[in-house]
Each structure stands twice: as structure tokens, then as C-alpha cells.
Amino acid sequence: MIEFTTATNPTELLQILELQQQNLPENLSEADKKEQGFVTVRHNLELFQKMNDVHPHIIAKSNGLVVGYALSMSKVFRNDIPILIPMFDEIDTTSEGSKPYILMGQVCIDKHYRGKGIFRGLYAKMKEEFSGIYNSIITEIDEKNTRSVNAHKAIGFRTLKTYTSNDQDWEIVYLEI
């Protein structure tokens, strides 16, 4: 059984970081990146804890272990991860950027748990947690990550804007809460 909840302790944060590490592009084959997707940003525990203190990360657990996560990122951290600064700048130019939003900083599911509804469950829990506080959830996806692009569109995300930064093409998408 999968439990959807928020991260509440250092052990869960370390499990998220371990899952993140396993799914960074440099740790995956080209076939896995294309078929299974990948994550782009590497976080450190200190920043991760600060982010979680403001808005707890959404996690999926099975038998006490984190098997999926959706990171909750407040705009107050916009300058703390350099690769994300251009995204925040692009969001600022849109109508959604002028409304209250939560950034979903990264989503990942353990490869042994994919295709079981966890992606949808993480976002359902995120909507539940932030309903009444924010108007939307916004995230960006590397356009080469077609699995992620398609998964987000399948649950109702719409394209807000596309842009290029650091020789990567990005799609900013949003989901109304």
C-alpha cells in the first residue's frame, strides 16, 4: 500500500536525496533517460531542509520507505538554485506568475514503483496541501524528458511558456488548484 504524506524527518529527506541521485542524467543510460525520464537538479541536504521547513515536500511511502516525491518550493528560494533562476524570471513574465503559486521543484518515482498511480497521487496530495493558499502549481520540464512532459499533460497541466536556457529547451507548465 502506498501512503501519500509530507516529509517530516531527516531520514525521509535523505531517502529523497538518494532517489534523486539514482535518477540524475549522469547515472542513467540513454535508453533509460528516454524511456523512464530523469531529474535535472541536484539538491544539498541543507537547502533541502530549509525548503521543507517552509513547505513540506510531498512523498509517497511504501513499507516506511520513500518511493516517490514531489518537491515543494516557495518563491523565496528563487535565487538559491542557479539553474532555476531563468525559470523564475520567465514565470514572472506570465499572468500566472502574478498570482500566488507553489513551485513543484522536482518529481521522481522509484523505477520499481512506476506505472502504479504514484505520480497522480503525489500531485493530488500537493493540491490538497496547498489548496486555498495558492492558485496553481507550476513546474518546468526539460523538453527532452518526454515521459515527464506527457505525464504532466495527462493529469491536466497546461503549457504556460517555453524557453531556452543553458542550451536546454524548457516547458513551463501549470495546474490550477
pLDDT in tens, 70-82: 999 999 999 998 8
Mean pLDDT across the chain, nearest whole number?
91
Number of domains observed in the structure of the chain: 1
What gap in Å lies between CA 86 and CA 144, rounded to an integer? Answer: 18
* Centroid of chain to Cα 80: 16
Q: How far apart are CA 36 and CA 31, in angstroms?
A: 8
**What are the cell numbers at 65?**
520507505
| Domain CATH code at residue 100 | 3.40.630.30
Q: How confident is the model over 113-140, as pLDDT tens digits?
A: 989 999 999 999 999 999 999 999 999 9
The DSSP bridge partners found for residue 171 are 141, 162
**To which H or E segment does residue 149 belong?**
helix 146-154
Helix/strand/coil for 33? helix
Residue 97: give the domain boundaries.
Answer: 2-176
Whole-prediction pTM? 0.89
Digit-coded pLDDT (tens) for 12-37? 999 999 998 876 667 667 777 676 76
